[in-house]
Structure 1
Amino acid sequence: MVRSEILKGYEDAANGDFIERVEAISSADLLRPVTKHIPKQPCRILDVGSGTGRDAAWLTSLAHTVVAAEPVDALRQAGMAKHPSPNILWVADALPELSHTISLGQAFDIVLLCAVWQHLNDVDRRTALSVLRSLTVDGGKVIMSIRHGAGAPTRPVFPANVENTVRWAQAVGLFAVDETKTQSVQSRNHQAGVTWSWLVLQAKSGNR
């Protein structure tokens, strides 16, 4: 029920100024805390909760290929229109299962989750981490932003604990290699006291 509420909240937001606000954010600025973990050579990246494809488009500009997984039809369709690229493959998919993405039979060097983790409860987070490990090559990295603070009333969020995430990740072969705390880049969230933790998890060989 909560998942359907979240998706509906984003569908409704897409009819307002949400897409415009999201697209106005610079991916280079947003991802600066973790850019050093993204390979300079072309690689395969999975962008989970890709939204309008803002980050996927930026990553393809750096010569990477991206699978953009986005469950909200309005956002995915906007992304396909705004960022047409042969190097972005769009799929209608969502955590924790990512069943459509799994069916592609690919594994990724980088898995990116930007502003997604807060929409999963703890049970789904543990399932999601196992799925994310299965989609990450040995030595690859899962990069996620973890929100601290309230969300929009129409898009439910669950409190996220970095320590728990790290512990559950270790159990499936993902080990924390970096953590950075940042302020929100959106002024209204910044004013509301929202902060973020960028967590980088590396897949240990032999745990896929």
Structure 2
Amino acid sequence: MAVEPTPELRRIGQRLHADAAIDWTDDAVPSLTGLRGPFDFMLLSAVWMHLDEQERDDAMRRLAELVAPGGCVALSLRHGPVPAGRRMFAVSAAETVALAGRFGLSTVHRSDKGPDCLSREGVSWSALVFRAERHAAPGVSR
């Protein structure tokens, strides 16, 4: 299952992975209304910093609803200057770890990467992996 809200990017993904058995869905965080879990593993790559504080709260709640007990949610966080014309917010790994904990997701991996692989000045990344507790946190239905 792949979720991509941008039609152009979804078409590129479908073309590049035409031989793979991937169901492509037009949806987006924070709501992910078109998805039905549970999922054993969820990956959000270069997405989280595009959400404001309320959207991150709503998205983490939804991810906790969608991930199977014992399943994992992995995400990357971009740090550094915001490109002109882009909607991005400063979000720290510590803030994201605390937010995940509120929804019954415990941190099983945290790493901070060095310089950006595209050599963008001042850009770095963090990688986080959370595991869903066997029993949902308050406010999360399973």
TM-score by length of 2: 0.90
For residues 81 and 34 of structure 2, the distance between their equivalents in structure 1, rounded to whole angstroms, comes to: 30
Are the aligned partners of 2:2 and 2:22 in contact in 1 as well (CA < 8 Å)? Answer: yes
Partner of 2:124: 195
Q: Aligned equivalents of 2:105 and 2:91: distance in 1? A: 18
| Residue in structure 2 matching 1:78, options 4, 7, 12 | 12
**Alpha-carbon deviations, 1:68-103, whole Å to 9, x = none?**
1000111001111221135211001110001112xx
Cα distance between partner residues in 2 of 1:148 and 1:133? 24
Corresponding position of 1:185: 117
- 1:197 maps to a residue whose letter is S
- Partners of 1:142 and 1:186 lie apart in 2 by 25
Partner residue of 1:121? 52
In structure 2, what is the equivalent of residue 33 of structure 1?
A: none
**CA shift for structure 1 position 152:** 2.1
- On the 8 A contact 1:150/1:157 being kept in 2, the answer is no
Q: Which 4+ runs in 1 deviate beyond 3 A? A: none
Match of 1:158 in 2: 89
- In 2 relative to 1, CA 148–86 (structure 1 residues): closer, same or farther, beyond 3 Å? closer
Deviation at 1:153, TM superposition (A): 1.4
Q: Which structure has greater strand proportion?
A: 2
Q: What is the identity, as a one-letter code, of the residue corresponding to 1:80?
A: Q
Higher relative contact order (CA 8 A, sep 6+): 2
What pairs with 1:50-69 in structure 2 (closer than 5 Å)?
67-69=1-3
Unpaired segments ≥5 residues, structure 1: 1-66
> AA paired with 2:133?
K
Distance 1:168 1:197, change over 3 A: same
Determine the C-alpha separation between the residues in 2 that align with 1:86 and 1:106: 21
Aligned partners of 1:96 and 1:125 also within 8 Å: yes
* Deviations 1:176-202, CA, capped at 9 Å, x for gaps: 111001132112x2xx11011101111
The share of aligned pairs that are identical, in percent, is 37
| Structure 2 contact 37–68 (Cα < 8 Å) conserved | no
Of 12, 21, 28, the residue aligned with 1:87 is: 21
CA contact (8 A) 2:79 2:124 kept: yes
Secondary structure (helix, strand or coil) at the match of 2:34 reads helix
SS state at 1:199 partner: strand
SS of equivalent residue, structure 1 residue 186: coil
